[in-house]
A and B are shown apart, each in its own frame.
Chain A
Amino acid sequence: QKEVEQNSGPLSVPEGAIASLNCTYSDRVSQSFFWYRQYSGKSPELIMSIYSNGDKEDGRFTAQLNKASQYVSLLIRDSQPSDSATYLCAVNIQGNNRLAFGKGNQVVVIP
């Protein structure tokens, strides 16, 4: 099993709708979870960090963590065309400073 898996395929959402992204991870001792946004041709930008079970909200973004089921998700409310990007899930592994990254999910917001 891969360390971090994101469901494949681009996600198309109409402007104003909710985009939902999911990520599963294999390391039960992972404690830190991140979502990065990456625009085409640019580097990843950290947009959310979550460390405890439950929801964490920041503006239009909500991260949800469920350690028992080993998944973390990202909701983007009121999606805007500027949200069109690839979103990378990252999880710290083996109790050290390394992060394992998923391959990313492309989100396309249709005006």
Chain B
Amino acid sequence: DVKVTQSSRYLVKRTGEKVFLECVQDMDHENMFWYRQDPGLGLRLIYFSYDVKMKEKGDIPEGYSVSREKKERFSLILESASTNQTSMYLCASSSPDRRSYEQYFGPGTRLTVT
């Protein structure tokens, strides 16, 4: 079974703090993704990565950065947390199989910025 883990289930941070969210997958997947999910807005892609040290902006990259130093680990960084970044953050991974593109999600991190 594919396993994607995220470093925290719940996190509370203060405005202006630097926040690190970590994601690890054990399936040797090349592709990894960070989404946020908000009521009424659905899943929105923040950043994704096709390979180690590669990153691509998604639909809402502002205020975020990412790091992928190892194939199995993809980190999301909030440089200076703001209250509008309070959300559920979901990490996913997939293989580059053209026919597949199946994405598998981690359990999510519910971040509250106060």
Residues of A within 8 A of B (CB): 31-32, 34, 42-46, 49, 51, 88, 90, 92, 97-99, 101-104
Contacts and interface: CB of A to CB of B under 8 A. Distances in A.
Interface of B: 31, 40-43, 45, 48, 50, 58, 90, 94, 96, 98-108
Contact of A45 (B58, B99, B100, B105): B105
Q: Which 8 A-B pairs have the closest CB atoms?
A: A103-B42, A43-B105, A101-B43, A92-B101, A43-B108, A32-B101, A97-B31, A44-B105
**A contact patch SS:** loop
Given A32-B100, A44-B43, A98-B58, 8 more contacts: A31-B98, A32-B101, A34-B101, A43-B108, A44-B90, A46-B103, A51-B99, A97-B48
Contacts of A98: 45, 48, 58
